[in-house]
Amino acid sequence: TGKHLWAERYDRTLKDIFALQDEITMKVIEGLRIRIVDGDRARSLSKGTENLDAYLKILKAAELYQHFNKDDIAIARQLCHEASALDPNYSSPYSILAFSYIDACHFGWTKSCPESYKQAFEFAQKALSLNDSDAWAHLAMSTLYRMQKQCDKSISEGAKAVALYPNGADANMIYSLALSDCTRHEEA
């Protein structure tokens, strides 16, 4: 019929029941991720953590972030801080935080753009220090370098993001902006 059925076996002791429950939940979420958040984006958000609660907080933060309004981004930031407290080695919370500070300046939600950009840079660097294959952290760096007119760095970071997230509209858009702002219009 063209349908593929699969099964997995989970042999554990009774004392591991809650860990097993989280493991199965993560597998189900991964299988359904296309319905929760764009498939490629969900895949990138899940990399780097096995903590189900941290992952779920980041999925919710990413959803709220997409609303692009001050209140929802404030909630998304809180969720990112909670996720990073649950798993300090998970890069995605820091990537979303970086973009939240970039956008705070773009949308006029901050009293100090230099301070917001400084925080964005710190969060993006933190994400990359944890996971150099975090496309969103590279996109944040590309955006920050582009705003500082550091063309080579902006293009380099954008190219890394596209290599990691080739079908991502955001990755291609930000890379294209870097190329365009650096007068490489045909490539953009």
Three-class SS of 88-149 = CCCCHHHHHHHHHHHHHHHCCCCCCHHHHHHHHHHHHHHHHHHCCCCHHHHHHHHHHHHHCC
For 96-137, how does the pLDDT look when each residue is reduced to its tens digit (9 = 90+)?
Answer: 999 999 999 999 999 999 999 999 999 999 999 999 999 999
Q: Is the CB of residue 111 less than 8 Å from the CB of residue 117?
A: no
- Rounded to 5 degrees, φ, ψ at 126 are -60, -45
Token code pair at residue 185 = 């219009």
The model carries a pTM of: 0.75
How high is the pLDDT of residue 137? 96
Amino acid making up residue 22: D
pLDDT tens string 86-99: 999 999 999 999 99
Q: Which string of DSSP letters, residue by residue, matches 10-56?
A: ----GGGHHHHHHHHHHHHHHHHHHHHS-HHHHHHHHTT---HHHHH
- Does residue 4 surpass a pLDDT of 80? no
pLDDT tens track for 42-85 = 444 446 788 999 999 999 999 999 898 999 999 999 999 999 99
Percent of the chain whose pLDDT exceeds 70:
75
Q: For residues 93 and 5, what is the distance between their CA atoms, to the nearest angstrom?
A: 34
pLDDT band, very low/low/confident/very high, at 28 (cuts 50, 70, 90): low
Average pLDDT over residues 6-33: 61
Q: In this predicted structure, what is the pLDDT of residue 19?
A: 65
**124 or 37, which is more confident:** 124
**Residue 24: pLDDT over 80:** no
For the cut 50, the answer to whether the pLDDT of residue 147 exceeds it is yes
Q: Mean pLDDT, the chain, as a whole number?
A: 84
